[in-house]
Chains A and B, each alone.
Chain A
């Protein structure tokens, strides 16, 4: 395990910014697309970083690759698919929508529906007509005594 960590660290060059000027494309539209795509791809050697903000060597290679594919005329989806084919689901920051991620993508909807149902049930239950009985004389007296006993008498 320790060795693996060493190995991973060795892939990190001297700290640099994530996106380097020499990687960037002259074409501003393509560059903008590249930045957007980069935020969708995970740096596989880092922990929860997209390749756009990672300074690992592999991330840099992937960024250059993304730009090369864009220059070659790929669409955004094709670029992502190209990298997805090599690194698998793990590389996608936005999990793909398929059978095994159905639960994840549906979770917000399911939770929202459950919440709505629960809220509705609670409100239904709470609007029942309560018995608004007045207090009897004995009860009034008891309340008055309670208030009297418990009122601070130091003033």
Chain B
């Protein structure tokens, strides 16, 4: 009774005291708009009703507005630590640093779902806003399909995982977010990853719209390409960031673990990469049409599958959200409708597509076909390996099996290596029919260089597995071939530099983009190989004053100090690194204890150089033998070339960006005046 009086006062108080409910209401409005958008425009496209088609534009904007309001409301609740919101109670704490309060907004299942939906609507609105070169009917259909996905996710959120569930009276303080997740890299990781994951939704919508319309042609491929590129770039960045996070936060120095959750983000990437290339063939040669459509559907289906796996508790994973079979069933229903529906539509419509341009076995088309087939095979291997434990359990009635990194390394790498070889040749091939002897002639020198480079490494390094050297040779091959192709295009060294410069600036940006991305993959491969094959590791008990030598460095352990952070305290080790008696740097690895969440994390300290990382992490001895009294466990790794992984990834993303900025992708966009002249010709 006293309580009601108080809440009355609160409601009449400051505005932000009702934000959680405003957020909830905004989600309901977004759902209402999504429902309208999923019906009106597509009907409009069928009846050629301009008003109905036009409504897609504004309802897409409305959706993004309301979901943003909801997202900001949730963020506000996290920032102010409003513990009347259940989601805040479960994932935040008043002592948490502000950055992680903000990041907490998408740290939980509910919040991340809201972010998912936000990005979904952002892509819809982006098509409504920037897609002025897309025919009205196709745009209307695409936006309707996008709204179907919106409806699916909004209802999923509102009916099974509402981020605005309330608690009253509020508990005195919140449980903390898993400290492992309190990290800058990880705070930014989901948004980027989701941008990629969810970005493919619009490509999916385009594909379904095209199937409904029964029209796929060069123009369609060109309209879809920028969206595919944008999603692919984000996903690439997201995966790279996640792997970087694992590398320095988990304290093991590894960057890829073939965990199911990693795999499910990797599969859309592989498929998306195939789609990117297959769409080029559709655009240039009007070929591979049903294949491109299928890839578009499969890429987003794999994204959805990822969401399903992470949120249903189907597979065990380090990263999975809380297990809830009810949610799992709901997403499975969503999957059945979206994937099943789109594939059924595909099965019905695809055979009606006209066959495209013809080509010879040695041609750019054939090269891209090889790319597609290998990427699809690789995706299949990862998919099968990831889900096999489930299949096995179902078939044997409860027996369990693990499919771990040894399987994936053995099955995935051999499948992918031929792709690297093909990537070297592909760009040299011309459309329709290529001049094989000519290409071989140009690549002879590249092959020689790759062999020489590998031999040089073999001479310098102290052994290593054959597969490592083979991969290295292919990485050299890819890098040199890519550079060779670029210099050939701009005729570098064949005339004055000024001519080459002019040619380079005349070259379409997408050509530069491809070169940068392909070279990026080669660079990343150097990183993968270096940090896998020539990694060295020391694990030991050390007393203050101890000296360790690793990878040519001398490391001195100076002792440990207790330090305090905002919501943790830490044992901080002090290490001095020198080489040949010359001081280089100090390293401060930490072992943090978070009292509220009752858990501990390791914060490694890294000395990063292009040649490799010196990576140190610390923990206190678990055993209390007299011999090790006062000693600390130190783990020091030397990871050669590991930074090439992130540099290569950045090159991939930048390459995508260059391609995206190519003016050809905007052809047909009304240039104000042109729009008037491009009026429907009166036949």
A48 and B404 within 8 A (CB): yes
Q: Are B377 and A152 in contact (CB under 8 A)?
A: no
Bound CA span A49–B403, Å: 11
Q: Which residue of B lies closest to A124 (CB)?
A: B361
B625 within 8 A of A: yes
Give B414's nearest chain A residue, CB to CB.
A108
A24 touches B287 (CB 8 A): no
**Are B622 and A94 neighbours in the complex by a CB distance under 8 Å?**
no
Do B369 and A154 have beta carbons less than 8 Å apart? Answer: no
Contact with A along B582-610 (1 / 0, CB 8 A): 00000000010000000111100000000
Closest B residue by C-beta to A129: B358
The answer for the CA separation of A108 and B401 in the assembled complex, in Å, is: 18
B400 and A107: CB pair below 8 A?
no
Closest to B403 in A: A95
Residue of chain A at shortest CB distance from B366: A123
Which residues from A are CB-within-8-Å of B259?
Answer: 47-48
User: What are the residues of chain A within 8 A of B622 when measuring CB–CB?
Assistant: 13-14, 16, 20, 60
The reply on B621 being an interface residue by CB < 8 A is yes
A90 interface neighbour in B359, B381, B385, B402, Cβ under 8 Å = B402
B380's partner among A15, A40, A100, A111 (CB-CB below 8 A) is A111
- Residues of chain A within 8 A (CB-CB) of B140 are none
Q: Report chain A residues within 8 Å CB of B318.
A: 46-49
B32 CB, nearest partner CB in chain A, Å: 37
Contact residues in A for B99 (Cβ distance below 8 Å):
none
Q: Which residues on A sit within 8 Å (CB–CB) of B401?
A: 89-90, 95, 100-101
Residues of A within 8 A of B496 (CB): none
Q: In the complex the two chains form, is A19's CB within 8 Å of B539's CB?
A: yes
B359 touches A108 (CB 8 A): no
Whole-angstrom CA separation of A11 from B317 in the bound complex: 18
B377 and A15 contact, CB distance less than 8 A = no
Contact mask A141-155 → B, CB, 8 Å, 1/0? 000000001101110
Q: Which of A53, A60, A126 has the most CB of B within 10 A?
A: A126
Question: Which of B368-386 touch A at CB < 8 Å?
Answer: 369-370, 373-374, 376-377, 380-381, 384-385
Supposing A22-B625, A47-B318, A104-B388 touch, asked if A123 and B361 sit within 8 A by C-beta, the answer is: yes
Any chain A CB within 8 A of the CB of B190? no
Nearest CB to that of A53 among chain B residues? B252
1/0 per position for A87-114, CB-CB distance to B under 8 A? Answer: 0111111110000110110011001101
- A17 lies within 8 A of B317 (CB): no
Q: Which residues of B contact A91 (CB under 8 A)?
A: 402
> In the complex, what residues of A have CB within 8 A of residue B377's CB?
108, 111-112, 114-115
Q: Is the CB of B539 within 8 A of A17?
A: yes
B-side contacts of A154, CB under 8 Å? 671, 673-674, 677
B365 touches A101 (CB 8 A): no
Chain A residues, Cβ within 8 Å of B365: 126
Contact, CB under 8 Å: A15 / B360: no
Asked if B400 and A17 sit within 8 Å, CB to CB, the answer is: no
Structural contact, B399 and A53, CB atoms closer than 8 A: no
**A18 within 8 Å of B (CB atoms):** yes
Contacts of A100 in B (CB 8 A): 392, 395-396, 399, 401
User: Are the C-beta atoms of B619 and A126 separated by less than 8 Å?
Assistant: no
- Is there contact, CB below 8 Å, between B252 and A18? yes
> Is A122 interfacial (CB-CB < 8 Å)?
yes
B552 CB–A CB distance under 8 Å: no
Residue in B316, B391, B406, B681 whose CB lies within 8 Å of A47: B316
Beta-carbon contact of A48 and B317 below 8 Å: yes
A/B interface sample: 5 pairs, CB < 8 A: A100-B392, A100-B401, A107-B384, A108-B415, A152-B674
Using a CB–CB distance below 8 Å, which chain A residues touch chain B?
A: 13-22, 24, 39-40, 42, 46-50, 53, 60, 88-95, 100-101, 103-104, 107-108, 111-112, 114-116, 118-119, 122-123, 125-128, 130, 149-150, 152-154
Given contacts A17-B251, A50-B404, A100-B395, 18 further A-B contacts (CB under 8 A): A20-B621, A20-B622, A20-B623, A21-B621, A21-B633, A22-B621, A92-B404, A93-B403, A93-B404, A93-B405, A100-B401, A103-B391, A107-B411, A108-B377, A111-B380, A115-B374, A119-B369, A150-B678
Residues of chain B having any CB pair with chain A under 8 Å = 251-252, 254, 257-260, 287, 316-318, 320, 355, 358-361, 365-366, 369-370, 373-374, 376-377, 380-381, 384-385, 388, 391-392, 395-396, 399-407, 410-411, 414-415, 539-541, 591, 599-602, 617, 619-623, 625, 628, 633, 635, 671, 673-674, 677-678, 681
Q: 10 closest A-B pairs (Cβ-Cβ)? A: A93-B404, A15-B600, A94-B406, A115-B373, A90-B400, A47-B316, A16-B622, A108-B411, A111-B380, A107-B384
